[in-house]
Amino acid sequence: MPRGFVVTKWTDTDGLIVQLNYPEELKVDLDDMMRVFYAHITGAAEAGNVLVRLEKVQSNVASYFTGMDSPTPFMINLILELGEDPDMFGEAVIKDINSSILNYLQQLGTSISANYEVVKKLKQYLKNALFLLERLKYLTKDQLLAQIFYSEKGRKILQLLRDRAYSKKQLQALLEEALNKIITNLDITLDPFVKSGLVKQDWIEGIAEVFMFLVADFTIFRSPAFHLIENAKTSLPNAYLAEKYLEQVKKFFATYTPTEDDNLVIAKNLTNPDKFDYLALFRDRPYPLNKIPKGTDEGSLDVAHLLSVMEKDSILTIIKDNKNVEWVFLLTDIAVRPFYPEYMLENIRRDREENTIKKETAIKHLDYLEKVYYDFHEKKEK
């Protein structure tokens, strides 16, 4: 589990100083922070992310730097256990957390009382962020697939494996070439592929490497909230709201066409555990804005902001009833549909004809595809 956050900033007078750390008992070694800082400024000193291993305190640091040319060069450091990697939590969530922290930091000014309130809110946010990261260990299959799709590395790996099976060594080389960056821990990036059942990993006799075989594929798209639509057809929650809701749904899907950019938006929503909880809540029924059930961690979760983002992303919609009360409806559900990769059969045949892959690799892949084929059909029959 992540240990906490350390925020530092660079000043011309004092150099690197610690702005705050959470939790407060988290020990901060300024020499360690300087090592992370040097990792950032080696080169162009631009904004970006680095992962630094700190042997002395037995931890990894996933650090985001705003750049030396920013008004205040901040460094946001997520302190991890030595075996942890930011990729475990997904690019979307880490990026959102860093963006939110930076938003708080940019509110700091010269007023001591105002700064006290900002820091108080920031520490509450950091507490919630650590809880959120802990929850990412327990993603559903749909969330794992969305995490793969939202990640640049995940999409590239999927693209490569849709073509043919590769050894981990081959996959890493192709990935680094395509993305033009070093991949530090491929196993962590591949973990959601294995957990979700998209790939099988196995040895091939005579080859001293582990191969990755794609045995399932998936698609992600917006879907009508069928349960809500059926209820609305029976005038639930009331005739006025039901009519307005059906009008909005019809209008949205009349022009809806899935695109990669839009699919990235919905994948980002699905990978966030808090948004996922509200998606599940509103999938069952709409709620008046002032009567939305709250979770156990309501004190640190900015529900208003979260719902606002989901509304902006056309996941939720707010409709006023005839008494001017605002109700929150699920405008579009998110569907993640696994399917059998029949195209792989033709790819394997092509690669054998062109001698691109060895016979043993083709046989192993076909064996896995045969087993998975029957699994898919059994699920369909059920």
Is residue 35 packed enough to be buried (19+ CB in 10 Å), middle (13-18) or exposed (0-12)?
A: middle
pLDDT band at 295 (very low <50, low <70, confident <90, very high): low
- pLDDT attached to residue 299: 45
Residue found by looking up tokens 């162009």 in the block: 44
Determine the average pLDDT of the residues in 236-240. 97
Query: DSSP letters of 153-177?
Result: HHHHHHHHHTT--EEHHHHHHHHHH
Asked if residue 332 has pLDDT above 60, the reply is yes
Beta bridge partners of 377: none
Q: Single out the residue of 372, 358, 377, 295 nearest to residue 165, CA to CA.
A: 358
Percent of the chain with pLDDT strictly greater than 90: 80
Query: Over the stretch 351-377, which tens digit does the pLDDT of each residue have?
Result: 999 999 999 999 999 999 999 998 887
Percent of the chain with pLDDT strictly greater than 70: 96
Asked if residue 289 has pLDDT above 90, the reply is yes
Determine the average pLDDT of the residues in 84-91. 86
pLDDT band at 382 (very low <50, low <70, confident <90, very high): low
What token pair was written down for 126? Answer: 């950091």
Determine the average pLDDT of the residues in 10-37. 93
Determine the average pLDDT of the residues in 205-220. 95
C-alpha pair distances (Å), 321 with each of 94, 328, 343: 38, 11, 50
Residue found by looking up tokens 């091939």 in the block: 204
Q: Single out the residue of 279, 337, 280 nearest to residue 313, CA to CA.
A: 279
Count of other CB atoms within 10 angstroms of residue 16: 16
What angle do the packed helices 273-284 and 226-233 form, to 10 degrees?
30
pLDDT band at 56 (very low <50, low <70, confident <90, very high): confident
Determine the average pLDDT of the residues in 168-186. 92
- pLDDT attached to residue 45: 56
C-alpha angle 207-210-215 in degrees, rounded to nearest 5: 115
- pLDDT attached to residue 369: 98
Backbone phi, psi, residue 318, to 5°: -110, 125
Query: Over the stretch 166-175, which tens digit does the pLDDT of each residue have?
Result: 999 999 999 9
What token pair was written down for 68? Answer: 């030396």
Asked if residue 199 has pLDDT above 70, the reply is yes
Sign of torsion, CA 63 48 84 87? positive
Determine the average pLDDT of the residues in 42-65. 83
Contact 192, 148 (CB under 8 A): yes
pLDDT band at 46 (very low <50, low <70, confident <90, very high): low
Contact 27, 57 (CB under 8 A): yes
Determine the average pLDDT of the residues in 61-66. 95
Backbone phi, psi, residue 5, to 5°: -125, 145
Query: Over the stretch 244-285, which tens digit does the pLDDT of each residue have?
Result: 999 999 999 999 999 999 999 999 999 989 999 999 999 999
Asked if residue 329 has pLDDT above 50, the reply is yes
Contact 64, 70 (CB under 8 A): no
Is residue 85 packed enough to be buried (19+ CB in 10 Å), middle (13-18) or exposed (0-12)?
A: middle
Asked if residue 243 has pLDDT above 50, the reply is yes
pTM beyond cutoff 0.75: yes
- pLDDT attached to residue 381: 61
Count each helix (H run) and each strand (E run) in the chain, helices first: 14, 13
- For each of the domains in the chain, give its residue range(s) and CATH number, in order of start: 4-137 (3.30.450), 141-216+340-381 (1.10.10.10), 219-336 (1.10.10.10)
Query: DSSP letters of 209-231?
Result: EEEEEE--EEEEEEE--HHHHHH
pLDDT band at 183 (very low <50, low <70, confident <90, very high): confident
What letter would DSSP give residue 291?
G
Determine the average pLDDT of the residues in 160-165. 98
- pLDDT attached to residue 298: 45
Q: Which long-range contacts (CB under 8 A, 24 or more apart) does 150-156 make?
A: 150/90, 150/91, 150/92, 150/264, 150/267, 150/268, 150/271, 151/87, 151/90, 151/91, 151/92, 151/189, 152/91, 152/179, 153/87, 153/91, 153/179, 153/183, 153/189, 154/189, 154/192, 154/193
What token pair was written down for 116? Answer: 């006290």
pLDDT band at 296 (very low <50, low <70, confident <90, very high): very low
42 vs 284, higher pLDDT: 284
Count of other CB atoms within 10 angstroms of residue 78: 26
